Amino acid sequence: MKRILVIAIAAIMLLTPFSKVLANSAPVYWEGYPSSVIMSVDKETDISVDSEKLLFDLSEGLKGGYSPLCRITAAYSMSAGEDTTSTMAFPYIGSLQSLYEGEVRITADGEEVPFSLFFGEPAEGYGTFSDSEKRDPLTFSNIIQAVSKTDYEPVSFNADEKATLVSIDVKKTGSSSLMISVPMDLQGKDTDIIALDFNGYSREGDRMELKSWVDSTDKIEFLVIGDRFDVAVEGYVDATEKEKNDGFTYEISEDEVNIRDFLLNEGERLLGRNITDDSTQYWNVLAREVDKAIQNNDGFASIDDLTSALYTDRYILFIYSVDFMKETSREVSVSYLSSGTMDRRETSTPKYTFSYLLSPASLWDGFKDLDIEIRTSETEPYLLESTLEFESTAARNYKSSFETLPDKDLVFTVYKSEKITLSDRFNGWLSRSYGLIFMLTLLLPPIIVFAILLLIARAVWKRRSGNGM
């Protein structure tokens, strides 16, 4: 009986924390990209940075995805040896979807400076800080060379070409599940398709097929570039297309659209904001991705290709100009929002790491007197670690000063506590192991019940055997 009680208590101890762990389904690691300093596009500039104040402000408690948003402000006192106008660029890495364009503020002596937005190549891992090594970002000259002021010219279609937008309004009338199929016979036709709202696509030779599940009512659209064809609609019970389903009605409408306008409008719809002011840059990203998909997929692209273009991390540049008079100092400031790396592989609550590339400042003719300040948030008030030395000057405030440019880039981590405790690590292990624990939750109860029943049966059998003797 004592052994049975021990097994039951052990089962309770093992199963008690599982419900908390199972609710924690967020990723344990989400890597952010580093920010950088402003840099001059002019290679032969004689502008020097006489001092810089660098502020990392997390005190607003802003959130972005899996990381808090840090408001970074780089304020420079700059001077030139002669009268000049310097074109400068502020580069950082992020997706167009997460672009906080309205939060970027560039000033010279307190006055707003207009800037132009340029989108470069996908980042593809450049500029990230992994656990084992620091990877250098793409060189600034390569970033600049990859951006363009002119419209991208697709290979598969022309920007001002007219295309046909086919809309199919479907209404389900039966009770069976409904999969709509749009078969296309493209024999002898020069046709490309951009599909919207479809769940599946297939092509074999000259036959293409689009598929979409319909719950009750749905509007299914696709863009036909090039030769037109007769649109047919078929219904099936499932994706095998073995059993037909006629329990639906539909109406087909067609509109002639401009391809450039269509892709930009879709980009606006996906982003939820106006992009016409920077239409060339957005067009270059969207058209290049669709063009690539059409070439790689035998004449087919989808809304997923547009979404991928908007959600892929890439180099983004804000380019602006500042006038300088000989022997006169100007205060140039750049302020923006940036997210960091979320990491809870060791802990149950995340620690957040922010990276800032100081090394590009060496491109200036001179650089000195750097002051750095970090203001932490109420939820992560402590500076857990940093590549540079900081002094705690007040609650949730850390400062550091350098006469010249440090030989290291800045990487710092904030956390809820001053250090990671053994309890933090244990809770982190529980959160990381929730999949294993979930399996144990499923397997242990029947095993324990079986063991208890077996012990009870064995005890009863012994007692009956003893009475029989």
The answer to whether 69 touches 63, Cβ cutoff 8 Å, is yes
- In the predicted structure, residue 311 carries a pLDDT above the cut 50: yes
Query: Could you give the CA distance from residue 271 to residue 119 in angstroms, rounded to a whole number?
Result: 15
Structure tokens of 333? 């400031």
Q: What is the pTM of this model?
A: 0.72
Indicate the pLDDT class of residue 163, thresholds 50, 70 and 90: very high
Instruction: Tell me what pLDDT residue 345 has.
Output: 80
- In the predicted structure, residue 84 carries a pLDDT above the cut 70: yes
Nearest to 406 by CA among 367, 365, 363: 367
Cβ count within 10 A of residue 21: 20
Instruction: Tell me what pLDDT residue 9 has.
Output: 31
Q: What are the pLDDT digits (tens) for 39-59?
A: 665 666 778 888 999 999 999
Residue of higher predicted confidence among 287 and 140: 287
Instruction: Tell me what pLDDT residue 12 has.
Output: 32
Q: What are the pLDDT digits (tens) for 188-203?
A: 999 999 999 888 888 8
Query: Could you give the CA distance from residue 310 to residue 269 in angstroms, rounded to a whole number?
Result: 11
Q: Which range, of 165-174, 361-370, 400-409, averages the lowest pLDDT?
A: 361-370
Q: What are the pLDDT digits (tens) for 324-340?
A: 998 889 999 999 888 88
pLDDT > 90 in the chain, percent = 46
In whole numbers, what is the pLDDT of the chain averaged over residues?
82
312-324 residues labelled b (16+ CB within 10 A) or e (exposed):
bbbbbbbbbebeb
Instruction: Tell me what pLDDT residue 168 has.
Output: 96
Instruction: Tell me what pLDDT residue 7 has.
Output: 34
Structure tokens of 201? 């696509």
Nearest to 147 by CA among 86, 107, 89: 89
- In the predicted structure, residue 445 carries a pLDDT above the cut 90: no
Instruction: Tell me what pLDDT residue 434 has.
Output: 54
Is the domain 36-145+314-415 a CATH 3.40.50.1860 member? no
Mean pLDDT of the 226-234 span: 93
DSSP 46: -
Indicate the pLDDT class of residue 432, thresholds 50, 70 and 90: low
- In the predicted structure, residue 270 carries a pLDDT above the cut 70: yes
Query: Could you give the CA distance from residue 281 to residue 309 in angstroms, rounded to a whole number?
Result: 12
Structure tokens of 393? 């000057």
Spacing of C-alpha 194 from chain mean position = 24
Torsion, CA 221, CA 222, CA 228, CA 233, rounded to 10: -50
